[in-house]
A and B are shown apart, each in its own frame.
Chain A
Amino acid sequence: MDDLLSEFLTETNESLSVLDVELVKLEQNPNDPELLSNIFRLVHTIKGTCGFLGLPRLERLAHAGENVLGRIRDGAVAVTAGAVSLILECLDGLKSILAALEATEAEPAGNDRDLIGRLNRLASGAGSAKAANASASLPAEDLLETPSILRASEDKESAIAAQSIRVNVDLLENLMTMVSELVLTRNQLLQILRSQKDSEFGAPLQRLSHVTTELQEGVMKTRMQPIGNAWAKLPRIVRDLSRELGKRIDLRMHGAETELDRQVLELIRDPLTHMVRNSADHGIELPADRAAKGKPETGTITLNAFHEGGQIIVEIADDGRGLDVEKIKQKAIATALSSEAELAAMTDQQIQLFIFKAGFSTKAEVTSVSGRGVGMDVVRTNIEKIGGAVELKSEAGRGSTFTIKIPLTLAIVSALIVESAGERFAIPQVSVVELVRAAANSEHAIERINRTPVLRLRNRLLPLVSLRELLRLGERDDQAETYIVVTQVGTCTFGIMVDRIFDTEEIVVKPVAPILRDISMFSGNTILGDGSVIMILDPNGIAASTGEISEGEQAPPGETPVRSDPREERTALLLFRAGDSAQKAVPLALVARLEEIDVKQVEHSSGGPVVQYRGKLMPLVPLDPAYAIRSAGRQPILVFSEHDRSMGLVVDEIVDIIEESLAVELVTDRPGLIGSAIVAGKATDLIDAGYYLTLAYSDWFRAADEMDPKPKRVLLVDDSPFFRNLLTPLLAVAGYEVTTVESGDRALGLCEAGEDFDVIISDIEMPGMNGLEFASAVRGAGRWKKTPLVALSAHSSPRDLDRGRAAGFDDYVAKFDRDALLSTLSETLGQERGAA
Chain B
Amino acid sequence: MSRDEARRDFVSVTIDDQLFGIPVLQVQDVLGPQRITRVPLAPSEVAGSLNLRGRIVTAIDLRTRLGLPPRSEGKSAMSVVVDHGGELYSLLVDAVGEVLSLEVAAAERNPVTLDPTWREVSAGIYRLDGALLVILDVARVLDLSARASAA
Contacts and interface: CB of A to CB of B under 8 A. Distances in A.
A177 B56 CA distance: 11
B73 interface: no
A519 B48 CA distance: 13
B140 interface: no
B41 A177 contact: no
B56 A527 contact: yes
Given A423-B37, A515-B144, A177 B54 contact: yes
A177 B55 contact: yes
Nearest to A534: B37
Which of A515, A525, A535 is packed against the most chain B CB atoms within 10 Å?
A515
A526 B37 CA distance: 11
Contacts of B48: 533
Interface in B120-151: 142, 144
Interface stretch (A178-186, A246-254, A565-573, A696-704): A178-186
B5 interface: no
Given A472-B40, A521-B40, A533 B46 contact: no
B41 A513 contact: no
A515 B37 contact: no
Given A513-B58, A515-B46, A516-B58, A535 B53 contact: no
Contacts of A521: 40-41
B87 interface: yes
A514 interface: yes
A527 B54 contact: yes
Interface size grouping (class) on chain A:
20 to 34
A545 to B, nearest CB: 10
B130 to A, nearest CB: 36
A513 B48 CA distance: 11
Contacts of A514: 85, 87
Nearest to A177: B54
A181 B89 CA distance: 19
Contacts of B89: 513
Given A181-B54, A513-B89, A515-B142, A533 B40 contact: no
A516 B38 contact: no
A162 interface: no
A471 interface: yes
A614 to B, nearest CB: 60
Interface string B8-52: 000000000000000000000000000101111111001011110
Given A423-B38, A515-B43, A519-B42, A178 B54 contact: yes
Interface in A493-538: 510, 513-516, 519, 521-522, 525-527, 531-535
Interface string A174-215: 000110110010000000000000000000000000000000
A181 to B, nearest CB: 3
A245 interface: no
A525 B58 CA distance: 11
B54 A180 contact: yes
A521 B40 CA distance: 9
A473 interface: yes
Nearest to B45: A515
B49 to A, nearest CB: 4
Contacts of A532: 35, 37, 51
Nearest to B38: A423
Contact of B58 (A177, A178, A472, A515): A515
A308 to B, nearest CB: 31
B54 A472 contact: no
B51 A535 contact: no
A513 B53 CA distance: 16
A527 B43 contact: no
Nearest to A521: B41
B79 to A, nearest CB: 13
A184 B55 CA distance: 12
Contacts of B85: 514
Interface string B55-75: 110100000000000000000
Contact of B39 (A178, A180, A516): A516
A182 B54 CA distance: 9
8 contacts: A471-B40, A513-B89, A521-B40, A531-B51, A532-B51, A533-B56, A534-B37, A535-B40
Interface of B: 35, 37-43, 46, 48-51, 53-56, 58, 85, 87, 89, 142, 144
